[in-house]
Amino acid sequence: MSTPRRRDSARSRELLLAAATELFTERGFDRSTIREIGERAGVDPALIARYFGGKAQLYLATLQVDQLAANPPDLLEPERAKALLDHAAQRGPGPIHRAAVSPHEDPEVQAAAAEQLHRRLVDPLCERFTREGLDRPQLRAELTVAAFIGVSLSRSSGTFQALAQARTEDVVALALELLAPRR
């Protein structure tokens, strides 16, 4: 009599999270299918429903796993801006950046992506602007993030040839020059 294969639920869950993170980053939430996530993970796609409840809940779980440092540096720090632009250039804009310009159909997913956008990008800038004593720090932070995401998305649109061809370091330097508040 053969021994039934023991499931490693923790490993399957981890594989699904990793595969979903990759696909959501590459294609976005809407263009990633449950079947593709399961195939990439090498597990039965039905496990998504078992472990997460569905695709939207899996997406929410990827946002939680993809947490940055407790206090991420703000995007006016050159290394942070460069890392964000490099990531977008290599993998396309992630779900959080997409949430800033195109809402998800699922309101729960949109709310989670917006919360992460604020936690990772807006809040650190708002804190910086508050420390610096600038007026309307929240509005300034949101405008700065919106402009930065616009630059990030525009690099791959094909519309702005010089922007698309520029070295990331040059884009960062000019973007920070434009976005940094002047006294």
For the cut 60, the answer to whether the pLDDT of residue 69 exceeds it is no
Q: What is the pLDDT of residues 114-157, one digit of tens each?
A: 888 898 899 999 999 999 999 999 999 999 999 999 999 888 88
Whole-model pTM: value is: 0.75
Task: Locate CATH 1.10.10.60 in the chain.
Answer: 9-65
Superfamily of domain 9-65: Homeodomain-like (1.10.10.60)
**Three state DSSP letters for the chain:** CCCCCCCCHHHHHHHHHHHHHHHHHHHCCCCCCHHHHHHHHCCCCHHHHHHHCCHHHHHHHHHHHCCCCCCCCCCCCHHHHHHHHHHHHHHCCCHHHHHHHCCCCCHHHHHHHHHHHHHHHHHHHHHHHHHCCCCCHHHHHHHHHHHHHHHHHHHCCCCCHHHHHCCHHHHHHHHHHHHCCCC
For the cut 60, the answer to whether the pLDDT of residue 46 exceeds it is yes
